[in-house]
Amino acid sequence: MLRSNLGAILLTLLAGALITVQTGVNARLRQTLSSPFQAGFISFLVGTLALLAIVAVFAPFSRGSLGGAPWWAFTGGLLGAFYICLAILMAPRLGAVALVALVIAGQVTTAVVLDHFGLVGFAKSPVSAVRLAGLVLVVCGVLLVLRKEGSPSRAVPVSPTGSSPTRR
């Protein structure tokens, strides 16, 4: 599998790296705008404009192309908005490594459930002992990342409105 999917694996690793960079970029934008929601809006607006250009050039919509999708297929943007705003709020509080580790643990846990039951368009793939062992290892990795080693945290506490105290 590794050799036959090497290009897909490398591109997916790049996407994961860019998500981590995006989180830091959005958190910095939040500092400038003083609002995680405004920062999330700007992030989505820029992304929407980029996708609009891509769709216009490479994949224009055809009449009726949206009609065949189930209702829940249109919730991706809402889920993305929730993730972006939450990541913007939590990045300064948790730090990059803890945030990404927790996100990955949530993704792997959800992926195991979605695959097992064949939900939201994924093919059914029953939970196996190997997958459960992988999930346990991910959770152990998160616990190691979250473990404090006596050094002060570099993360800054953030209020729900997105403001943070000034560092000295």
Flag whether pLDDT at 160 surpasses 70.
no
DSSP string, 52-103: HHHHHHH----TTTTTTS-GGGGGHHHHHHHHHHHHHHHHHHH-HHHHHHHH
Q: 76-135: per-residue pLDDT in tens?
A: 999 999 999 999 999 999 999 999 999 999 999 999 999 999 999 999 999 999 999 999
Neighbours of 2 (CB within 10 A): 6
The domain spans of the chain are 1-58+76-94, 95-148
Length of the chain: 168
Flag whether pLDDT at 168 surpasses 70.
no
The whole-number average pLDDT for the span 142-151 is: 78
